[in-house]
Structure formats: structure tokens, C-alpha cells
Structure 1
Amino acid sequence: MNQRRFDVAGQRLILRADRTLHWPRANTLLLADPHFGKGSVFRRQGLGIPAGATRDDLDRLSRALAETGSQRLVILGDFLHAPPAGDEAWLDTFAAWRRRHAALDILVTRGNHDRLASVPDNWALDWRRGTVLEPPFAFRHEPGPVEGAYALAGHWHPVVQLRRGSERLRAPVFWFGAECGVLPAFGRFTGGHPVKPRLGNQLFAVGPETIMHIGIGQRA
């Protein structure tokens, strides 16, 4: 099963194995922490990181938009990994992708990696600082409660370790608490941080082509 339904704040959300979240009522696709250009940053530092991660992520995003029919994209922070140099190849890759999706509205809530960043005006990104309220949700980068709304955030790159006998597997997760939901990092070339959810939290582990409900967490 490559997607799962989850109801929160009176809304139905669709959690997808490509690490995006579809909000059908608003015809909106959400993702967090793409960290575009991260490979270029590492290569500038002399590390032998293969090129093509941004192109692969954008191809995956194009498929998600087509499959959901979404007319708007919300990125919950860390659009960039670092301020880009002018000659980085991923900039042309993204510009070409944006031209193919010229009618798409894109809202970005600035993350900690975006604070010093600037992007070309013709990318037509609606950059916002802090929290963006769209009842019943509040879009933001860093997880935390928002009075009168259910927060959707990123930043933490949540993962859990699944165990079966002697086998161990780290999997990114969608993590929903009482007041805030945290999306997994969309960028394939990103790390993950193990989380210890509290009793009552809902977690959905993301596999290559599946979403698996893994229970309600553990006591704090």
C-alpha cells in the first residue's frame, strides 16, 4: 500500500510513500525538508558525492503532483541546504522544473537552512517567515503547538528503528501527536533523527513503496 488515510483536526490527509502529504480538501500537496542543493554543497567541500539527487527528488515530486492532481505545493522549510553558488547545476535543474510547473502555487515556510538564502524571482516562490495559518492547520518549519490550530511541520527528519528478530531497519516516519504532526524529510540525500514518541502518538513508517502504521509510540 503506497498511501494511507489519516484523519486529524477534522480533515482527511493522505500520507504517501514518496514522503509527501496530500490534503484533498485544499487540493494541496505538502512536504518538508527537501534540502535542494545539498550534494553541491558537499562537492564544493571536496567530497565525492554523486550528482543527480535534486533531479531525482524533483522527478518524484512531479509524479506526486500528477497522481494527486494538486494545484498547490507547501514546503515546510529547509527548501535549500545552504545559499547556492551561482554555477551549481541544480539551479538550472530546478528552474527547468519550475517552468514545467508554471501554474503551480508554491508556498515555502522558511527553515533554519533558508535564513540567509535567496532564490531567483522567476521561480515564483511565496516565501514566508514563521507560522502560516490556514485553519484548521498551521504550517511551520519547527514543530510545536499553535493556539487554535493543528501544526504541520518538518525540521526533525524523524526516523524509527524497526526490529524483527535479528534484523534492524531505520525508516522515516510521519509522526502525529496531539497538537502537531511532523513530516519525514523529503530529500533523499538527508539524514534522519531517531524519535521516541509518547503513548498516544500515531506513527506511519515509510518504505520504498509502502506506508505502515507502526503503533502508538511508547511511554515518555
Structure 2
Amino acid sequence: MMISAATPFILLGQNLLLLPQKAIYWKEQKALIIADVHLGKVGHFRKAGIAIPRDMEQSDLATLSDLIHEYQPQKLLFLGDLFHSDMNNDWDWFILWRSQFPSLQIILVRGNHDIIPDKHYQQLNIELHDELLLHPFLMQHHPLADEQLQGAEGYVFCGHIHPGVNLSGRGRQSITLPCFAFGSKQAVLPSFGQFTGKVAIRNQKTDRIFAVLKDKVMAIE
């Protein structure tokens, strides 16, 4: 198995590894943090008659398994939109995947797409929260507005918007890459699922932006 080219980043005294698989490993908590997997999205589109390769979903779960084997986390934190919509056949793949890591603590901070009844997650020993404070970080799904951030209990980690950064090269070439966006009070994670889009975000000069390439994470100055 290939070892990740992780980029270390210290935030509020906590040691984070930014991973090219679009995840964060938090050393002090021994936790993997992931946003917007959107499992079931392939099945959702296929059910609607749109031809999508079936193995895309299994590829996301395989990547997640590789990260677990590599970093041996005690916690796996999903920052919302774990499953895309109603339960479909892709849920069976998720059940099989979960059975491979029975002792792993899995936590889901609910997102707007997480509409499957709680009992199905509870049967898989998955904890459910609307938000979760793990000092000094507050785990959310939706980003908070500036006025909300002033009263937040901790530095916010969130997803939802599938952030990207637009890079321009010579000859008017440009590309939008997934990115980690760290502001003064909030970090937005890229979407983990490969069958998701990305939206170029406007960042302030004080933000730290890290673009995600195929095999590394690169700080954007």
C-alpha cells in the first residue's frame, strides 16, 4: 500500500496531517476527519437511469479503508452528507465495509443529505450528532456565518460547500482543485467522495489555502 504524502499543519496547538485523499488526521485525538462522502449517490443516479460506473462508490470505501489501515485511528469523524439520500443498494456495501472495522468509533455529524432514519446508523454502532465539540474544535456540517462564528464554542471544522481553489498558469490555462480552506475561526474541508463537484471559493488574505493534488497537498501562497 502506498504511504500518503501528508502535509503537516499545526492549528491551535494541535497537530494535523492534511492528506491528498481529502481527509485530515488529527494526531492528538487519533481521529480521521472527512466531509461529504455522499455514499449512495451513484445508486441514486443509476436508479434515475443515468449511467454512472458502479465501482465509483466502492472506490471511495476502499480509499477510506486504506486510510484506516495506514493511520490506525481510534475515531472516524464524518462531517455530514455521509449517505447522499434515501437508502439504496449501496447501503449494503456500507454495511459490509463497517463490518471490517467493528472496534472503530464512528461519528456522524448530520448534514442536509443525511435523511436515513437514525436506527439504521445505530444498528451499525455509529454515533449521531448535530454538532460535536472536541476541544478546541467544533465539528459541524454547514459553515457558520461570520456573526455566528463570534459566539461559537470552538474553532469550526465543516464541509458542505465542496471548496476548490482556482489556479491559473501560462497561456490562460486554469484549473480548479479541491482544497482545505483555513480561516481565522473556521476550516472548510474538501469533499471526500469522488462523485462530487467543487466550487471555487473566494478567500481572504488571512486564509490558509491548501490545494489537493493527486499525490500531495500544496500550500497556496
Normalising by the residue count of structure 2, what TM-score does the alignment of the two structures yield? 0.91
Cα separation, 2, equivalents of 1:92 and 1:111 = 21
**Alignment partner of 1:175 is 2:175:** no
Amino acid across the alignment from 2:17: I
Query: Which residues of structure 1 form unaligned runs of 5+?
Result: 216-220
Cα displacement string for residues 9-41 of structure 1 (whole angstroms, at most 9, x for unaligned residues) = 221111000011000001100000000010111
Match in the other structure for 1:203: 209
Cα separation, 1, equivalents of 2:218 and 2:159 = 19
Amino acid across the alignment from 2:132: V
Cα separation, 1, equivalents of 2:133 and 2:9 = 20
Match in the other structure for 2:5: 2
Residue in structure 2 matching 1:17, options 20, 23, 27: 20
Query: Which residues of structure 2 form unaligned runs of 5+?
Result: none
Cα separation, 1, equivalents of 2:121 and 2:129 = 16
**Alignment partner of 1:157 is 2:162:** yes
Cα separation, 2, equivalents of 1:171 and 1:92 = 31
**Alignment partner of 1:117 is 2:116:** yes
Give the superposition deviation at 1:120.
5.0
CA contact (8 A) 2:136 2:154 kept: yes
CA contact (8 A) 2:164 2:200 kept: yes
Cα separation, 2, equivalents of 1:206 and 1:17 = 6
Q: How does 1:91-110 map to 2 (within 5 A)?
A: 91-110=91-110
Cα separation, 2, equivalents of 1:105 and 1:209 = 27
**Alignment partner of 1:53 is 2:56:** yes
Equivalenced residues, count = 210
Q: Relative to 1, partners in 2 of residues 1:148 and 1:127: Cα closer, same or farther, differing over 3 Å?
A: closer
Cα separation, 1, equivalents of 2:5 and 2:190 = 15
Task: Classify the secondary structure of the residue corresponding to 2:87.
Answer: coil
Cα displacement string for residues 57-109 of structure 1 (whole angstroms, at most 9, x for unaligned residues) = 01101111111121110000001111113xx1x22211111111111100000
Cα separation, 1, equivalents of 2:192 and 2:157 = 14
Cα displacement string for residues 136-191 of structure 1 (whole angstroms, at most 9, x for unaligned residues) = 01001011225241110000100111111123221000000000001100000001
Task: Classify the secondary structure of the residue corresponding to 2:164.
Answer: strand
Give the superposition deviation at 1:7.
1.2
CA contact (8 A) 2:121 2:127 kept: no
Amino acid across the alignment from 1:154: G
CA contact (8 A) 2:133 2:153 kept: no
Deviates more, 1:1-10 or 1:136-145: 1-10
Query: What stretches of structure 1 move > 3 A for 4+ residues in a row?
Result: none
